[in-house]
Structure 1
Amino acid sequence: MCWSELPDVLLEEVYSKLTYKQRYYCSMVCRHWYDLFYSSKVWEHFVLGERTLTRRRMRPYRNSYMYTLSQYKAKMCLDRVGEFFKKITIKPISDYYNLYAFMTVLSAFLEFYEEYPMPLLHGFHFNFGCENRGFSGITVHGTGGKILEELKRLLGNMKNLEELTLNQLLLDKKEAPGLLESVLENCAETLKVLEIVNCTKGSYPMFYAGMFMSLQKLIISPQHLSSDVIAMLASTSLTDIHIVQDRHTDGVAPINSQTWFEVKQMSPRLQVRLEARGGTREEILFQPRAPVTSIVYDSPYLKMTPDAVMMITDHYRKTLRLYAQKGLPRTHGSRSFHERCDGLVLMLVRQCPELRVLIIRERISSMTLLLVASQAKKLQKLYVRQNAVLKKTDWPKTLEWSDEHYADLKKKSQSYELLQKEISRCMGYPWKLLTDKEFEKLKI
């Protein structure tokens, strides 16, 4: 089958994987491909990057070029395919003028027509580029000013959103009020997923999060939570709370355990996920007695520590179902048994009987993996990097093990093939060690 014989469904899928410039070049091949260029499936997700819809201009008094947003391109794009957008994502952009110009054009487009010009739009994801790298190092800026005014105007023009993301705004406390007022007016009954991470520099409770009656999933940083906010959320239809922190998150105190106890009584279906991401070096802020079902480390600088495991086993032993270390580590991994995480992993598995998914990126011995697979009765998924597995038998023989059993463990620990066969038998499905590339592609 040649390209001219491919069905439209496959061609639309190919188009959706291409960049905007590549789509334009493909549209000039033939009339049929030109028509597919304007297919609704091709333009379901619009992503604004650093050079999207820009043109090159000569810098005055300098022998170099700069890329500025072309308002003509932006207007043509919205006029031709804007009605097909289902999701708009704005990535972190270092040129704040281009960001401001695009939001101005998009707001004007939404205000120009009497009928709402984007009836399919259900998701808006705004990630502010708060970091700028220069000769003096990294500087961090908040939003504020004209960009904040334009963002509020844009949110006020969007209707019937189901997903909304506002990350890294880093506003002052006096600028935060009114940020979500317009969203509450237009999307109070439709919004299902809300992500607000580091909207302010310091502690600022986001009471608006508890006013969306159809909200099902909330991703929020700890400085936007308080006992009153948690109580409001428990009275809604919310089922998932992700408490996320990164290197821009300010240190705050956790919610008291009595509040979490009352929340569990009011909303027994509520599940909490604690996550550290974005290159942070700070340990996760544990919430005492919260209904935590998932703990995720998505920062390469964090390791499993005895204090963290003790907190987990003390507060979440009956609820924890997922423990994950995502990505590759950027910390020293010792080969010594007493400095590795073997004992902590085995303690976690023994103390948390409801654990279903375990993802470990740190160095660990093959014998420890055999013990984990045999002792974790409810464990369904186990992911480990092959480059992090040491073919060692560090564990001493216990009174519960016979000589034959201990010899069998030592034998299977010295071979990756025997190790994978034994764990496959314990897990009940073909299990294998992952390469670093496969491990990085894991999705939770």
Structure 2
Amino acid sequence: MRLRIEMDVKPSEMAATDRLTECLAITNLPSVVVTHMLSFLSWEDKLNVIIAIPQWCSCFRAVAAWKCVEYGNEMDENMYFLKEKRTKFLFCIKQYGKYMRSIKLIFGSKLSHMAIKIMHAVSEFCSHLTYFHIGQEVPLQVDESLVWRKSVVNGICSILQNCNQLNSVSICQPVIDWTESPDNNIILNIIQQGLAHKITNLELNAESLWEHEGYQDFLKNFTHLKRLVTRRENITDEILLVLAQHKLEEVTLVQEEEIPLQQQEHLKEGFWTKVLNICPTFQIDMILRYIMVIKDSFPAMMPLRKLILDDLVNIVTKGVLEHLTENYKDCLEHFTYTNSLLENYETGDRRLPSSLVNMAMKCTKLRSLQYGFPLSSTSILLLARARKLEKLLIQAVEVSYEYDWQTDPNWSSEFVAWLKASGKNERTLELAVSEILGFKWKLSYDPFTLDEQLNTMYM
């Protein structure tokens, strides 16, 4: 049997419904609402919206619609479509550049003619810019085509010269060949043109220092630098102290080779005491790879915020980890110890799990911990209970499901039973840790690659 329902709708009610539908139409939204919505869209989505809803065109002519413009992800693009993407972005800059106050450009391939045109368009059409960031994503294999030469240098310098309202400028991972003339060197050219004081964030990786010899004394010219990322082997007490006396607030030092004995005397306890007297909020991040680390690698008073240890030539011992905890219990926020080379299957110091738990308990600011060596489910549960971390990254392949701790006299029989029950398999472990940390926590099955973390840090 079919049930039929007929509704008797009066003409007046239908008219009212039509008027309500018309009022709720997307094209009738208040401009202030539309502008706010547009501010959350990427520049590409904005261009698509213009085509889809031409009635909103006037809403794009507002500063609020272009709060932060980010161009990037080129390494994820098909190379055949890259020119089209850059062409669209160039159009976007020319049409709406005068409403933009913040632009972030991250190129993933050669800075060709179209990339240069984008830079000159920023210089010409974005006169009210207050924040500018330009960076280079570096692939695994770098060739000469990625070197920033004269045309790129001129394009960046024109932005620094013409955008008079800039108060924050980042240059990230420029690819520089230091054997070439200063015209092809963005760092030296900025210094020669008297523009170094405009740079607030400078990030130099290995490709930024091709064939550079000696210390980076040129850094002393960057008197308004707030953040610096560079190689440890090229830095001295004098250079960092000069920068700290100006504006520098944080530094990231990357060390991937052993340094001479005489240079190891730099950045010791006395130096950090001087820096903290100048800037009490100073912070340092350290990334150490392919080298040997000992207690002397980590002096007292160093305001260490993040420490990444990867692919070391020696094993971090319980003594070193306890030394780190004691020295940096009031400042350490992120700690990573792993081996990203899959062919290495080191077991690490078997006493480290207890030291890790001790670190989590004593380092009051610790927010993230990543460990890439064998760890029992009991150790993971104790880590989670020691501190409510925002990030706890453990690879599933390293986990054993066993109760391998000596029972503490202060542990109740109920707590021991909970440790054993919660750590008996992957599912119970993940559920227990999720409940402790307050978010859905899972063991990682993805191979850990430090390069991704470094790129995130640089960018």
- Tell whether the structures are fold-level matches, with TM greater than 0.5: yes
SS in 2 for 1:33: helix
1:323–1:358: 8 Å Cα contact kept in structure 2?
yes
Q: Structure 2 CA distance, aligned partners of 1:27 and 1:326?
A: 48
Specify the alignment match of 1:229 in structure 2. Answer: 239
2:66–2:100: 8 Å Cα contact kept in structure 1?
yes
Specify the alignment match of 1:62 in structure 2. Answer: none
Specify the alignment match of 2:368 in structure 1. Answer: 358
Unaligned segments of structure 2, at least 5 residues: 1-23
Specify the alignment match of 1:86 in structure 2. Answer: 101
The correspondence for 1:27, drawn from 34, 37, 50, is 50
2:431–2:441: 8 Å Cα contact kept in structure 1?
no
By how many angstroms is 1:274 displaced? 1.7
Specify the alignment match of 2:161 in structure 1. Answer: 156
SS in 1 for 2:109: coil
1:385–1:439: 8 Å Cα contact kept in structure 2?
no
The correspondence for 1:321, drawn from 313, 327, 332, is 332
Q: Which has the larger radius of gyration?
A: 2
1:92–1:129: 8 Å Cα contact kept in structure 2?
yes
One-letter identity of the residue aligned with 2:326 = R
Change (3 A) 1:28 1:74: closer
By how many angstroms is 1:265 displaced? 4.4
Q: Structure 1 CA distance, aligned partners of 2:425 and 2:85?
A: 60
The correspondence for 2:304, drawn from 283, 293, 314, is 293
The correspondence for 2:281, drawn from 255, 269, 282, is 269
Specify the alignment match of 1:346 in structure 2. Answer: 354
Specify the alignment match of 2:176 in structure 1. Answer: 170
One-letter identity of the residue aligned with 2:285 = R
SS in 2 for 1:169: coil
Change (3 A) 1:7 1:328: farther
Q: Structure 1 CA distance, aligned partners of 2:234 and 2:168?
A: 21
Instruction: Give the structure with the larger helix fraction.
Output: 2
1:204–1:225: 8 Å Cα contact kept in structure 2?
no
Q: Structure 2 CA distance, aligned partners of 1:342 and 1:3?
A: 62
SS in 1 for 2:188: coil
How many residues are treated as equivalent by the alignment? Answer: 404
Specify the alignment match of 1:46 in structure 2. Answer: 69
1:292–1:316: 8 Å Cα contact kept in structure 2?
no
Give the TM-score of the pair, scaled to structure 1: 0.69
The correspondence for 1:433, drawn from 435, 441, 444, is 441
Q: Within the alignment, does 1:97 sit opposite 2:115 as a pair? A: no
1:155–1:182: 8 Å Cα contact kept in structure 2?
no
Give the TM-score of the pair, scaled to structure 2: 0.67
By how many angstroms is 1:167 displaced? 1.3
After superposition, what is the alpha-carbon deviation per residue over 1:262-287, rounded to whole angstroms, capped at 9, x for unaligned?
Answer: 434444332211247xxxx6469856
Unaligned segments of structure 1, at least 5 residues: 57-64, 111-116
By how many angstroms is 1:208 displaced? 5.8
Aligned pairs (5 A) from 1:178-197: 178-181=188-191, 185=195, 187=197, 192-197=200-205
Change (3 A) 1:32 1:416: same
2:338–2:370: 8 Å Cα contact kept in structure 1?
no
The correspondence for 2:136, drawn from 116, 128, 142, is 128
SS in 1 for 2:133: strand
Q: Structure 1 CA distance, aligned partners of 2:31 and 2:343?
A: 51
Specify the alignment match of 2:143 in structure 1. Answer: 139
Aligned pairs (5 A) from 1:51-90: 77-90=92-105
1:180–1:208: 8 Å Cα contact kept in structure 2?
no
2:332–2:363: 8 Å Cα contact kept in structure 1?
yes
Q: Structure 2 CA distance, aligned partners of 1:290 and 1:20?
A: 45
Query: For structure 1, which segment, 348-357 or 65-74, has the greater mean C-alpha deviation from structure 2 after superposition?
Result: 65-74
After superposition, what is the alpha-carbon deviation per residue over 1:169-195, rounded to whole angstroms, capped at 9, x for unaligned?
Answer: 23306645634327864855xx65443
Q: Structure 1 CA distance, aligned partners of 2:114 and 2:326?
A: 46
After superposition, what is the alpha-carbon deviation per residue over 1:145-201, rounded to whole angstroms, capped at 9, x for unaligned?
Answer: 44334434443334333131231323306645634327864855xx65443444322
Q: Structure 2 CA distance, aligned partners of 1:251 and 1:100?
A: 38
Q: Structure 2 CA distance, aligned partners of 1:432 and 1:333?
A: 30
One-letter identity of the residue aligned with 1:171 = D
By how many angstroms is 1:27 displaced? 1.4
1:359–1:383: 8 Å Cα contact kept in structure 2?
yes
Q: Structure 2 CA distance, aligned partners of 1:436 and 1:399?
A: 29
SS in 2 for 1:339: coil
Q: Within the alignment, does 1:306 sit opposite 2:303 as a pair? A: no
Instruction: Give the structure with the larger strand fraction.
Output: 1
Q: Structure 2 CA distance, aligned partners of 1:103 and 1:79?
A: 9
After superposition, what is the alpha-carbon deviation per residue over 1:301-352, rounded to whole angstroms, capped at 9, x for unaligned?
Answer: 7589733875554356332522344999673696xxx826774243144257
Q: Percent identity?
A: 13
Change (3 A) 1:123 1:290: farther
**Cα root mean square deviation, aligned:** 4.9
SS in 2 for 1:274: strand
Specify the alignment match of 1:60 in structure 2. Answer: none
